Amino acid sequence: MSHCRPNLIAVVVALTCAKLAMAQSGQPPPAGVGNSADNGTDPTKLSSTIAVQHEHLALREGARSDTMKLTYTLPLGEQRNASVRFRVPIARVETPGLGDHTGLGDASIQFSRVFGLTSAHGFVAQGEWVFDTARRAELGSGKSVLKGTLVWALFLEGGNIFAPAVVHSQSVAGRANRARVNTTTLDFYCVPKLADAQTFVTIDPALSFDWENGKHYPSLAVTVGRALGPALGGNAQVFVKPTVFAGGERPGDWGLEVGVKVIGF
């Protein structure tokens, strides 16, 4: 029965959002809807992006990981309401008593589609395939994983954005000696509109459920970024993103990600 719960959650959210979308006029929003700056914080704005990010995670029992993520996103179509994203991680994991190892992690490709966009809200559907490309067990899941995401972005008064999402990850193939992946995350993403247009902040509380192991835990991530100016035909920015995990079933204690992006080239 536990394996059915994430599928039920995804179906209920999808049907609810689809009903809301059909109730709207389907007209594109006027300029200035939501946080109008194209800084990557509005999930309904799909822009060409190159990003280099480094993430450090303090895991349980003294383990830790460092991952360098190389990401390229390309909008599709004249309306730019779809995109494809490629990501390649280079990971280093240190485990007490087992030493540390560095190598290629699990690479992925993600497709996104924006629909039902109005002046009040928009929806984003994403499908991602995470490949079992890690050569060492500690650098990846050992499984090929399909990840589905549905985002409902609400454009609030004053230019603020609230974009709750449901994300479900399910392993579909991989090594028989590795645990199956079956997780759901409820994400409550917020973007406050700041007076300084060169600075952006996102607040991202989430609740994650690991159905395979019967565990769940909350987390909170806050991103603070700053525009640097024109670069490579687009706009460059830097950001820092601390994350904290809570609860006795959490996979780690805290994380810190820093990165640089070029958007809209």
What integer pLDDT is reported at residue 37 of this predicted model?
Answer: 64
Taking the C-alpha atoms of residue 99 and residue 92, their distance in angstroms, rounded to an integer, is 11
End-to-end CA separation in angstroms for the chain:
47
Residue 154 has pLDDT above 80, yes or no: yes
What residues have CB less than 8 Å from 188, skipping those under 6 apart? Answer: 162, 164, 204, 205, 206
Q: What is the pLDDT of residue 153?
A: 98
pLDDT at 127: 98
Average pLDDT estimate for 233-247:
97
Residue 26 pLDDT level (bands cut at 50, 70, 90): very low
Q: Output 204 or 80, whichever has higher pLDDT.
A: 204
What residues pair up with 129 in beta bridges, in sequence order?
109, 146
Residue 99 pLDDT grade (very low, low, confident, very high; cuts 50, 70, 90): confident
Residue identified by tokens 């990401």 is 71
For residue 41, is pLDDT > 90? yes
- How far, CA to CA in Å, does 141 sit from each of 21, 149, 174, 193, 249? 35, 19, 9, 37, 18
Q: What is the mean pLDDT of the chain?
A: 88
CA distances to 22, 30, 113, 151, 159 from 27, in Å: 12, 9, 16, 19, 19
Q: Which amino acid is at 205?
A: P
Q: What is the pLDDT of residues 57-79, one digit of tens each?
A: 999 888 999 999 999 999 998 88
Q: What is the full DSSP assignment across 49-107?
A: EEEEEEEEEEEGGG-EEEEEEEEEEEEESTT--EEEEEEEEEEEEEETTTEEEEEE---
Place of tokens 């645990």: 179
| Backbone angle region of 198, left / alpha / beta, with phi > 0 → left and psi within -120 to 50 → alpha | alpha
pLDDT of residue 22 exceeding 60, the answer is no
Closest CA to 107 of 67, 50, 160: 67
The span from the CA of 210 to the CA of 250, in Å, is 10
pLDDT at 18 over 90: no
pLDDT at 36: 54
Residue 242's DSSP bridge partners are 256
Contact residues for 109 (Cβ-Cβ < 8 A; gap 6+): 84, 85, 86, 87, 128, 129, 131
Per-residue model confidence as pLDDT tens digits over 180-222: 999 999 999 999 999 999 999 999 999 999 999 999 999 999 9
pLDDT attached to residue 62? 86
Residue 145 has pLDDT above 90, yes or no: yes
With a cut of 70, say whether residue 3 has pLDDT above it. no
Whether the pLDDT of residue 14 is over 50: the answer is: no
Least confident of 1-5, 95-99, 204-208, 209-213: 1-5
Nearest CA among 172, 114, 165 for reference residue 143:
172
CA distance 107 to 134: 8
So what's the pLDDT on residue 116? 97
Average pLDDT over residues 6-20: 41
